[in-house]
Amino acid sequence: MTKKEKAQYIIDELEKLYPEVPVPLDHIDPYTLLIAVLLSAQCTDVRVNKITPSLFSRANNPHDMIKMTVEEIKEIIRPCGLSPMKSKGIHGLSEILLAKHNGEVPQSFEALEELPAVGHKTASVVMSQAFGVPAFPVDTHIHRLLIRWGITKGKNVVETEKDAKKVFPRELWNKLHLQIIFYGREYSPSRSPKWEKDFITRKIGTTAAKKEFVQ
């Protein structure tokens, strides 16, 4: 199969499996989504969703967030890991949103990526899921699967994102990146993937990828 043929197969099969894809992180608006995505770095969505109710009951907007100290934020989010860095980022970006953006989350990649602790992947998630702007956020799960499927040979998520955008239609990016994440969790985990379960890799996976499988 060519990459284009593989891409179409992926699109067709994932649409059958996941015609509707909810945003995995619980949130009520762009600000709470931004905070949840920031917390999800090296942490599962499930754990983030257990922590954010406690945080958002205290502060679900930048005005209330800056009333808390960095230490108070750190104690609440500690189970998510990297709490010293994340708590400083949350407090710092809240101050900047109030000072520069009237308390609103900006709707541009450039402005988002200027915020503390906000990288390109976080900005991409917010732009796609909060504002509907076409983006293809690539996390480690998507990076692994697109290599496994022969869509990319990217050495990092930046290269993988570029390759994904070349083969998948722009109008599908926002939904497709979520579909791939859901598929990876359910059918193609990083550890001990099962040959009989991961039908996409069985069909289009690279030779190297197929050697990973427990058959």
Q: Which positions are annotated as active-site residues?
A: 121, 139
Contact between 146 and 160 (Cβ < 8 Å):
yes
Distance CA 151, CA 163 (A): 7
Nearest to 107 by CA among 94, 124, 90: 124
Contact between 74 and 58 (Cβ < 8 Å):
no
| Residue carrying the six token digits 């480690």 | 140
> Which two structure tokens, joined as six digits, stand for 30?
């762009």
Distance CA 21, CA 54 (A): 25
> Which two structure tokens, joined as six digits, stand for 177?
């990146």
Distance CA 93, CA 115 (A): 5
Distance CA 109, CA 145 (A): 25
Q: At 63, is the secondary structure helix, strand, or coil?
A: helix
Sequence-ordered list of residues with C-beta below 8 angstroms from that of 209, at least 6 positions apart, any chain? 147, 148, 149, 150, 201
> Which two structure tokens, joined as six digits, stand for 44?
């599962």
